[in-house]
Structure 1
Amino acid sequence: MQEFGGPEGMAVVALPAPVAARSQVLVDVEAIGVGGVDAVIRRGDLAAYGFREGHVLGGEVAGVVAAVGDGVDPAWIGRRVWAPTGTGGGYAERAVASADEVVPLPGRLSAVDAVALGSAGVVAHFGLAHARFAAGESVLVRGAAGSLGIMTVQLAARSGAGVVAVTTSSAARGERLRALGATHVLNRAGEGSPAGFDVIIDVVAGPDVPSFFDVLNPNGRLVVVGAVGGQPPADFGARVMVLFQKSLSFSTFSANTVPNDDKRAVRTAQFAEAARGDLTAVVHEVLPLAQAASAHRRMEAGEVFGRVVLTP
């Protein structure tokens, strides 16, 4: 990403090869997950958090460990792994990751499927837990066509949700989400709901957040797990106060608050489930790294169902 703004500010450039520092592994990258947060960083929306022009995007990769830093067991070398690259560095041929966060891949799980599941699965799992979701409750997944929304639909359905509703942009996408566990398909405004919801998992955020408090049941919980639609209005909490007698709750959730051991345990289990066919990794398209800008254009145009994956 050479400059903030649209995808045209992205370019492939030559940089010095990374080196595994202490407690890190170096990964020969086979697949790179393209996430909504990458677009948010690219637009410059997170500049206040230290992101600068020239930043290498990409928060997760899968591939083979090529080298390890001091303090890391050399037995990792040659193993296929999923690896989080933190705040960036994944859009590359080689990337480094903290050794205590990498997860070995089952033999039957491809690198492409791993990056469609790795980050999304953990956020979906712990996001539902953060919402105190319980079997029998009704769940609305707002912005369900991306990898995070798709994983939330699957996990909620198999955990016994009474209703799993989704917002999405087309009937065709709605049918695909029904095949993954959705029971009701609503438009993007949440219209068409048969009743209220106990839990809303919101991947979108943006200016429409206040209207979704209206479709929560008493004691309902809305948890924002992504912000691809930008920030909610500054006064969005006023709607909660208007609905004071419903005892509604609003919160945000970031996987950064979950201990690494807990995240690794969930990812290990989810990768095994995907290898057995019990979880579905939905990959929209696999593109070469040189077409990263095209991947972002398709994502922002709303063309992507699942995850776009890049390969070096």
Structure 2
Amino acid sequence: MREFGGPEVLVAGEAPDPVAGPGQVVVEVEFANITFVETQYRATGAGPFPARPPLVPGNGVGGAVAAVGPGVDPALIGRRVVSGTGGSGGYAERVAVAADGLVAVPAGLAMDTAVALLADGRTALSLVRAAAPRPGDRVLVEAAAGGVGTLLVQLAGAAGATVVAAVGGPRKADVARGLGAAVVVDYRQPDWSERVREAVGGLDVVFDGVGGAIGRSAFELVERGGRMYSYGLAGGSWADVPDEAAAAREVTIRRGPPGNPARLLALTADALAEAEAGRLRPLIGQRFPLERAADAHRAIETRATVGKTLLTVHHP
């Protein structure tokens, strides 16, 4: 990626093999993670990633440790791991990452499942633990057919909540129903919030992965003492909810990422353990070979995807 712009700025090419520096390992990548925020970063440079072009994009990978740098235990070689990359380097056959940022993949878990949970699993677990939905709570999940949304539907349902899924289009509605959502609405329709009101009355919890006007409409459905957790900007901005409006109804609002690096590692490990135990199942809706990263970004941006999108790099 030599400049910011459309998906076409992602071009396959050759780069020198990475070398593990002190405290690092080299991972032979099997699958690379893609998140919506990476498409925003590619387009405009907006987002949490510090690097600037030219660069190899990609913020999460899974594979086997191929080499270790000075000060790193050689016993790690061959271990199956997932890891963040610090914001760049992931769309590649090999990447050097910090050894203290590795999360071991349980023996019984497929690597593609682990990578699908690397970012989305920790986000979903963090949100559900913070919101603590109770049996009978009415919980709205926006973008319920997306990577995080599909996990939130499962987790909220397992907690005994009545899950209301807001999605864009019939295909995504079918996905949400298949995951156990009790009520499904299409938030592309102008009366979607009225349909929620008719179905369940108000809401106790909102998981806002869209923001913007949809997030604001969702806030209006939250009953006194409810909770709203905003974690995504698919709509281009946080939901415009004035503090005084939230205070007037005693609605708790939280925005932003799930925590510091140590907490993120712990949440990722927990997500992988939940998946190994069969209690969490990521929906991998589409896979693209590494050289088609531009097509993967294009599909995400045009809202043509469901669940998680992965880049397939190596087949062990």
Q: 1:69-148 maps to which residues of 2 (within 5 A)?
A: 69-148=69-148
Q: Could you tell me which amino acid in structure 2 is paired with residue 288 of structure 1?
A: P
Structure 2 unaligned regions, length at least 5 = none
Give the SS at the match of 1:221.
strand
| CA–CA separation in structure 1 for the residues paired with 2:276 and 2:226 | 35
Shift in Å at residue 49 of structure 1? 6.4
> Is the contact made by 1:41 and 1:51 (CA closer than 8 Å) also made in structure 2?
no
Give the structure 2 partner of residue 250 of structure 1. 253
CA distance in 1, matches of 2:86, 2:80: 19
Distance 1:49 1:119, change over 3 A: closer
1:215 aligns with 2:190: no
Post-superposition offset of 1:245: 2.7
* CA–CA distance in structure 2, aligned partners of residues 50 and 268 of structure 1: 25
C-alpha offsets along residues 71-127 of structure 1, whole Å, 9 cap, x if unaligned?
Answer: 322111011111111212111111122222212222332221211112111101112
Between the aligned partners of 2:48 and 2:31, the Cα distance in structure 1 is 29
Instruction: State which drifts further: 88-97 or 14-23.
Output: 14-23
Question: What is the alpha-carbon distance in structure 1 between the residues aligned to residue 212 and residue 13 of structure 2?
Answer: 33
- TM-superposition CA deviations, 1:212-253 (whole Å, max 9, x none): 2111111222211111221147xx234x53465312232213
Q: TM-score, normalised by structure 1?
A: 0.89
TM-score between both structures, scaled by the size of structure 2: 0.88
CA distance in 2, matches of 1:276, 1:242: 41
Tell me how far apart the structure 2 counterparts of residues 259 and 52 of structure 1 sit (CA, whole Å): 22
Counting aligned pairs with the same residue, the percent is 36
Q: Distance in 2 between matches of 1:49 and 1:91?
A: 15
Q: Structure 1 residue 237 and structure 2 residue 241: aligned?
A: yes
1:146-295 superposed matches below 5 A: 146-161=146-161, 163-188=162-187, 190-191=192-193, 192-193=195-196, 194=199, 195-232=201-238, 236-238=240-242, 241-242=244-245, 244-255=247-258, 257-260=259-262, 262-295=263-296
Give the whole-Å Cα distance in 2 for the aligned partners of 1:188 and 1:302: 13
Q: Which residue does 2:8 correspond to in 1?
A: 8
Which 5+ residue runs of structure 1 have no aligned equivalent?
none
Q: For residue 101 of structure 2, give the secondary structure of its aligned residue in structure 1.
A: coil
SS of the residue corresponding to residue 149 of structure 2 reads: helix
RMSD: 2.2
- For residue 309 of structure 2, what is the aligned residue in structure 1? 308
Relative to structure 1, the CA distance from residue 210 to residue 152 in structure 2 (aligned partners, 3 Å threshold; closer, same or farther) is: same
1:177 shift after superposition: 1.5
Please list the CA deviations of residues 31-58 of structure 1 after superposition, one character each: whole Å capped at 9, or x if unmatched: 0111111111111151796442323221
- Displacement of 1:141 in angstroms is 1.0
Shift of 1:259: 4.8
The amino acid of 2:237's aligned partner reads: Q
Q: 1 CA distance for matches of 2:49 and 2:115? A: 25
The whole-number CA distance in structure 1 between the counterparts of 2:238 and 2:270 is 34
Aligned equivalents of 1:128, 1:277: Cα separation in 2 = 17
CA shift in 2, pair 1:129/1:7, >3 Å: same
> Partner letter of residue 223 of structure 1?
Y
Task: Please tell me the residue identity of whatever aligns with 2:71.
Answer: G
Instruction: Count how many residue pairs are aligned between Structure 1 and Structure 2.
Output: 306
CA distance in 1, matches of 2:206, 2:283: 22
What amino acid is aligned across from residue 246 of structure 1 in structure 2?
R
Deviates more, 1:187-196 or 1:119-128: 187-196
Structure 1 stretch 74-83 or stretch 171-180: which is displaced more?
171-180
